Chain A
Amino acid sequence: MQLFSCPFCGPRDETEFLFGAEAGKRRPEPAAEVSARAWGEHLHFAGNPKGPAREIWLHLTCGEFFAMERDTVSHAVSATRALRGGGQ
């Protein structure tokens, strides 16, 4: 069982967490000028990196989103930090 460290609650069981998205993804604006292709890519496409990754996760029990840096092969977590104050 792996422990993830919630920036607000500390180390907790992995089952308490939900993967959200890759970090750094920004909603394309303004909406009226966003093509169907660009919108489809924003909604569905992903870098899906093998190795180091920066991701947004949700700690289900406290309801806070946060950023996590981890390796998608070794599963080692190098950092977690709150989104407030430029978590992106």
Chain B
Amino acid sequence: MKGRYSAFALLREGVRGHTGWRPAWRSPEPKPRYDAVIVGGGGHGLAAAYYLARNHGITDVAVVEKGWLGGGNTGRNTSTIRSNYFYPESVALYDFSLKLYEGLSRALNYNVMFSQRGVLTVAHSPAEMEIAARTVNAMQLNGTDAELLDREAVLAKAPLLNTADAARFPVFGGTWQGRAGVARHDAVAWGYARAADALGVDILQGCEVTGFVVENGRCAGVETSRGTIRAGAVGLATAGHSSVMAEKAGFSLPIRSYSLQAMVSEPVKPCLDTVVLYPGTGTYLFQSDKGEIVFGGGIDRTPSYAQRGNPPMQQAVVSGLLEMFPAFGQLKLMRQWAGVVDVVPDSSPIIGPSPLSGLYLDCGWGTGGFKAIPAGGWLLAHLIATGEHHAISRPFDLDRFAAGRLIDEAAGSGIAH
């Protein structure tokens, strides 16, 4: 990798006045043909390109992005990484991703600032504690870490939680996944982009896919705003716009696009060192390294491609925050934004061949795609390179909707759909 990042490089450049840093990736002109083309330059697409090169030795790869790297949901999410799902298939998938995240900074030679500060999901009643115990048991049986906490243990982890007798959603106990955490979302996109570029992948920004080249019933490339690019295989990693891409390819998907919004407060001194989710309010939050309270909640109730949130959900999310942490009522709201998420009826992703031969899907991550970037990329690369499912991605094939074998993670998704 040209210009490997290290403490020594930082020292050397400090002495040189930082004149020796080079761009982290090239901006090449599109070639007329690649072995593989990935549509979508977010985390999933860039990770797929990187793993095609690293795991399968396929380096003649282009990532085609209509905007800029990580400008979609990769740069809009609240960066939580966890594997506290219920079904074995889901834990296998998300824990695989979590394990890849644990070694990612070293693998990419790029600090993605993965901070394993734990995720705390609060239970508000004895009945919810029974469900929490069931979830913890399921997670432990599925081989990931989970603990059941009582009220005192929850309040020890988040002392500012609402302890008033009049609390609408009292703290009764909760579940804890200590290996979960947050990472710097831009760094994940940039780290994969830099590492993929170093292995020979072409990253084509400002290059919009306008159609697919179909020959003999097979996808043979993409039509783009910068010309036709032929490909041996094409991967689709376009999140909220997957239905738009699918229509161009001649099929539809079990996806509905919604806006999911998030907000940050002004920065304050450290006061919260875990990620907290309240099922009662649907609001979740953590404190960023800069000190801002980063928080969000459920999706907007109106199907939308608008990339902006509607006021009713914003109000619900802020109300939820103040129910959980009354002290945060003093904070000013700094920014609010939204991304377009691809929601699937069973709140589980779609990974596998599409109805068009030669075109592979990595979509349907809904509100939780960031945590799955390494796994999604790894599995899409496996599909493109071998034409076959990886054992982890097999249950998430599109065929589950005809078979009725849904993996309903409506609760595991953690966000109201």
Residues of A near any B CB (own CB < 8 A): 1-2, 13-15, 17-19, 35-37, 39-41, 43-51, 53, 55, 72-75
Contact = CB atoms under 8 A, between A and B. Distances in A.
Lowest 9 A-B CB distances belong to which pairs?
A: A48-B243, A44-B254, A40-B402, A40-B401, A37-B402, A50-B305, A44-B401, A36-B402, A15-B312
Chain B interface size, under 10 / 10 to 19 / 20 to 34 / 35 or more: 20 to 34
A73 B303 contact: no
Contacts of A45: 252-254, 401
A72 B310 contact: no
Given A72-B305, A73-B304, 17 more contacts: A1-B311, A15-B301, A19-B301, A19-B302, A36-B402, A37-B402, A39-B402, A40-B404, A41-B252, A44-B345, A46-B243, A46-B255, A46-B256, A50-B241, A53-B303, A75-B304, A75-B306
Determine chain B's interface SS by DSSP, over half rule.
Answer: mixed
A50 B340 CA distance: 11
Contacts of B303: 19, 48, 53, 55, 72
A74 to B, nearest CB: 7
Determine chain A's interface SS by DSSP, over half rule.
Answer: mixed
B141 interface: no
A45 B401 CA distance: 9
B403 interface: yes
B306 A48 contact: no
A34 B146 CA distance: 44
A72 B303 CA distance: 7
Contacts of B310: 1-2, 14, 75
Nearest to A19: B303
B402 A72 contact: no
- From B256, B301, B302, residue with most partner A Cβ within 10 Å: B302
A73 B305 contact: yes
A87 B84 CA distance: 44
- From A14, A40, A41, residue with most partner B Cβ within 10 Å: A40
B329 to A, nearest CB: 22
Contacts of B402: 35-37, 39-41
Contacts of A44: 254, 345, 401
A60 B103 CA distance: 49
B236 to A, nearest CB: 14
Interface in B358-417: 401-404
12 contacts: A1-B310, A14-B310, A15-B312, A47-B252, A48-B243, A48-B244, A48-B303, A49-B247, A50-B244, A51-B305, A73-B304, A73-B306
B243 to A, nearest CB: 4
Contacts of B252: 41, 45-48
B257 interface: yes
A84 B232 CA distance: 51
Nearest to B403: A36
Nearest to B343: A48
Interface string B242-276: 01100100001111110000000000000000000
A72 to B, nearest CB: 5
A35 B303 CA distance: 29
Contacts of A43: 345, 401
A17 to B, nearest CB: 8
A62 to B, nearest CB: 17
A57 to B, nearest CB: 9
Nearest to B246: A48
Contact of B243 (A47, A55, A74): A47
Contacts of A40: 401-404
A72 B306 contact: yes
- From A1, A13, A48, A74, residue with most partner B Cβ within 10 Å: A48
Contacts of B312: 1, 13-15
- From A18, A44, A45, residue with most partner B Cβ within 10 Å: A44
A72 B312 CA distance: 17
Contacts of A37: 402
Contacts of B311: 1
Contacts of A15: 301, 312
Interface string B306-329: 100011100000000000000000
A72 B304 contact: yes
A48 B253 contact: yes
A50 B409 CA distance: 26
A74 B311 CA distance: 15
A61 to B, nearest CB: 15
Interface string B160-177: 000000000000000000
